[in-house]
Structure formats: C-alpha cells, structure tokens
Amino acid sequence: YVSGLGEGKAMYLLFVKAETLTNSGIPVRSVLTSYYKSPHFLHRKHDLYNNYTSPDEVILCPDSQQSMYCQLLCGLVERQHVLRLGAVFASAFLRSISFLEQHWCDLVNDIRIGKLNSNVTNTECRLAMEGFLALPNPELADELEEICGHGPWKGILGRLWPNVKYIEAVLTGTMAQYIPMLEFYSGGRIPLVCTMYASSESYFGVNLRPLCKPTDVSYTILPNMAYFEFIPLEDGLRVTDDEEVVGNDKLVSLVDVKVGCYYELVVTTFSGLYRYRVGDVLQVTGFYNRVPQFKFICRRNVILSIDTDKTNEEDLHNSVTRAKKILEDRNHILLEYTSYPDTSTVPGHYVLFWEIKSTCEGVKPLDPQLLESCCISVEESLDYIYRRCRAHDKSVGPLEIRVVEAGAFDALMDLLVSQGSSINQYKTPRCIESGLALKLLNSKVTASFFSPRDPEWTV
C-alpha cells in the first residue's frame, strides 16, 4: 500500500513499563515490556522495514521522561530520513508530541551545541546518544526553531518530518478519542494507520485495508494464532456477568458468526489459556474468503480509559463509595455521580461529576481540602494499573471532581428521557459520552477540584 518504506527510518516511540516481582521472584511485566527486553527484540536481524531512529538503550530506559526526551531528539536529528511516525497506542504518541511542545527549546539547544541536556542522567541513554550529538549542528537547530517557535502547531508533524508517509498507532476502541488531536497535529494530511489487533493473551488479527479511515477499521482474524470462539450478545451489547467457563451450547465457532452481530471473544491459546474470556466486544463486518472480519467495539464493562488503564463500573463504584465516607464525616452526602474520560488535555484524566448536599442548616462553601481528600481517596482505591499510569508512567493526569448545582442530575434525567430513555427503567449512567449530556453537566458545574498528589504506588 505504501512504497519506499525500506528507504528510510521509523520514529516509533516505544517505552517499557515498570515491573514488579511475585513473592517467589518471578517478574511481572506488560507484554510489550517483556518483548522489548527479550532476545526476539534485542537480537533481531537488521530489517530495512523496521529501522528505528531510537537506539535500544533509549527505548529500554526505565525513566519514561528521559526515554521520551532522547527518542524525540533522535527523531529530530534524523528528520529528513523519517518515513513513519507512531507508537503502540495513540495516547502515548500524543503524550510525546505534547512533551515536544513543552521541551522543544531544550531539544533544539542540544542539537545546536552538540551536547545532551544534563537532565538526562541515565548512563545507558547518555552513552547511546553520543553518536547522535557528536558535533554541533546550528543549521538544523535554526530550521527546527523556525518551525516550532514561529508558527502554529496545527500540522506541525508534516513540517518537522516532511517525508513522513503515515502515522501508525492503535486507534480503535477507547483510543478513537484521540483521533481529533492526531488530525490537528498532522493537519489532516498524513494518513492515520491502524494495522493490527492484539493483546497480551494472543495476536488476533490484521487490518487488510490499512489506509482506510480509523473509524472504518475492521480486523481479519488470523485463525492460526489461537482457537477462537464467540459468545453471542443478546439485546445489543448486553453481556452476561457470569465469569466462569462458558458451556458448549453458548459458544459460536469462528466460521459460524453472522454479519452485523455482536460477540464477546473467547480464546484457547498455545500457551495454556483454555476458553479464556478476553473481555473484548466485537461486531462482524464481513468475511475475507471464509475468515470473519471484526470491528472492535469496546472492552466488556470498561467505562473509563485514558491509556492502558481500564476502569469498570464496579471498581469506580467501590472507589466513590469509599470517598463519600469522607463527605459524610463532614456533614455532607453524595446524592449522585457520573464520570467522563477527559482527553482534551494531554495527558487525559478522569472527571467525576458530583452532586453534594449538606446535612447541616445553612449553605457553606465546600472546603477545597475536603474535595481534594476525596480525589485522593478515589485514586488510591483504583487498581494497580491506574495508579502506575498516574504515579510512574505519567500517562494519566490527576483525577478531577466537578461539583454540580442542586438538581443537575434531575436535569440530566429529563434530557435522556427526552431522547428516548424509559423513565420507568432510568438509571443514572456511570459514564457520560461527549454530547448534549456532557454539555448539560458542564453548564451546571459550580466548583472543580483536582487530586493534589499522585496515588501511592510501589514497584
């Protein structure tokens, strides 16, 4: 689909995640971190089609900020040779571009004087970068300064890397929320490509039309990667809460799925997973020969996600339940709540809309420290992955509580009922999609509070 890719380099922003150990000393790490640290990656044969701008030592740097700085520096030095941009997830790529927007002056200065910034302290990174900054390059520094300092950032990717042919990242599911920002930085002129569908459990499929719009992506299942079965979803996207192994009578084989229907993915893998419910909800869009093609719809029960974090309704409810006890101890009660993943900033963050009522006579302003304590309590109660993203990876921003005026959730119910919801069966949605409902709640906000510190997290 794209010619000449072997004639240049790829600026793929790849990062390792922090890992921990089990009580018996076995390392626990994300699948990509495991791959980057394995001989499959470190001792890979030279491949013209996978020639990266970043040295392995920079990719493996445990400090994501130092790694990001050095990877961007490599990409800028090699700007005329870069034919592809990307990251595994769209969120990571945007976080890096936002980092570039904040630190371009330092990067340009390093290129100008031929010396790496002293804030990069990782020894392996510094050694690996010596070859990139062997000599001062004031001419390149002037070019970059002109681009970054004297023009709008809309479409800047094409100006910084004039020969780039496409941007590659996961853009489906929750990552679709980042498409508008990618189009802003690319100026809408660089194709956004999503090539594969995979997880830590197995590799599932490929996009046979890589240059299609991200909203039109369908993945063709690779039947040799695992044994695939599917749970039909009744009533649209309703999924059974039963987490146990599903019986034969409820499963549909790979060749028996039907176009337009929704299914939950079940895999049996070579590594030993037996009828494992991956948690992905898929819709059949067609067939390639006899192999079905699927559109990724969502993760089962996940309502909030910014990066690799996946927060379901039960986890959110338990976290809010713990935090509202702080309110109750100070003569306030939480009447109602909902949530929203705000990706208008980089990194994105969780937003909770709270309607609070005082149990004492007289209306007093809410104590900011009280609501900040609630923010901390919610974050401390969320799972390990969320807390790692917040405290270590910095890929998720501080949680925000937006307090809304009295009656805001009644107005929300009126709006949703007017749009077709049944008033008899109405339940406050625990996550609000962008649209009229979000606009309504934001118009009712009286105060906003952010978590003042990172949640506790240990390796």
Residue for token digits 């290129």? 111
CB distance 89 to 182 below 8 Å: no
What is the enclosing helix (H) or strand (E) of 336? strand 332-342
Measured on CA atoms in the order 427, 313, 336, 400, is the torsion positive or negative?
A: negative
Q: What is the pLDDT along the chain (459 residues), one digit of tens a residue?
A: 999 988 999 999 998 888 888 899 998 888 888 899 999 999 988 888 888 999 999 999 988 889 999 999 999 999 999 999 999 888 889 888 989 998 999 999 999 999 999 999 999 999 999 888 889 999 999 999 999 998 788 899 999 999 999 999 998 877 887 888 888 899 889 999 999 998 888 999 999 999 999 989 999 999 999 999 999 986 445 444 444 445 566 899 998 999 999 999 999 999 999 999 988 889 999 999 999 999 988 777 778 989 888 898 888 988 998 998 898 888 888 888 999 999 888 899 999 999 988 867 655 678 899 999 999 999 999 998 999 999 988 899 999 999 999 889 888 888 887 886 655 456 788 888 768 999 999 999 999 999 999 999 876
pLDDT digits (tens, 9 = 90+) for 225-248: 999 999 998 644 544 444 444 556
Round to whole Å and give the CA distance between 209 and 90. Answer: 19
Measured CA distances, 177 to 279, 441, 454 (Å): 20, 20, 24
Round to whole Å and give the CA distance between 304 and 310. Answer: 6
The residue among 44, 52, 57 whose CA lies nearest residue 85 is: 52
Give ∠ CA 318-28-50 in degrees, rounded to 5: 115
How many other C-beta atoms are found inside a 10 Å radius of the C-beta of residue 375? 22
CB distance 382 to 360 below 8 Å: no
How distant is the alpha carbon of residue 18 from its chain centre?
Answer: 16
Query: Residue 27, exposed/middle/buried by CB under 10 A (0-12, 13-18, 19+)?
Result: exposed
SS3 236: coil
In DSSP terms, 284 is beta-bridged to 294
Measured CA distances, 421 to 111, 412, 413, 427 (Å): 58, 11, 9, 9
Round to whole Å and give the CA distance between 133 and 11. Answer: 17
Round to whole Å and give the CA distance between 455 and 378. Answer: 9
What is the pTM for the complete model shown? Answer: 0.77
